[in-house]
Amino acid sequence: MKINQYGTQSVNPYHKSFDKKATPSQINPQQEDKVEISAKAKELQKGPDLMMERQEKIARLKAAVENGTYQIDRTGIAEKMVNFYKQQ
């Protein structure tokens, strides 16, 4: 039985291109990893300060409601509701 090498290159035509591709370490070995912190992440780091401000605001609102001095802007609320439903 005689076996020839005919047609064996078509078995894996991508093998040649795979060998020729450069790995990322071969492209630029000097490049270092970088980390960039987004603006949103920086804003989230301020969380404890914002929590204190929010708690103070809630305490003021609760005191105003209990004292009966809390005033509602009925016109402003109505305008915002109308604008909200116009957008939908």
pLDDT digit string, tens, across residues 40-63:
888 888 877 788 889 999 999 999
Number of domains observed in the structure of the chain: 1
| Backbone conformation region of residue 82, classed left if phi is above 0, alpha if psi is from -120 to 50, else beta | alpha
pTM confidence score: 0.40
52 or 24: whose pLDDT is higher? Answer: 52
Domain assignment present for residue 3? The answer is no
Mean pLDDT of the chain: 80
Which of these ranges, 27-31, 59-63, 74-78, has the smallest mean pLDDT?
27-31
Confidence band, pLDDT 50/70/90 cuts, at residue 10: low
Give the span between the Cα atoms of 76 and 73, in whole angstroms. Answer: 5
Give the span between the Cα atoms of 81 and 84, in whole angstroms. Answer: 5
pLDDT at 9 over 60: no
What is the span of the domain harbouring residue 57? 48-88
Domain assignment present for residue 31? The answer is no
Give the span between the Cα atoms of 9 and 33, in whole angstroms. Answer: 39
Confidence band, pLDDT 50/70/90 cuts, at residue 4: low
Domain assignment present for residue 82? The answer is yes
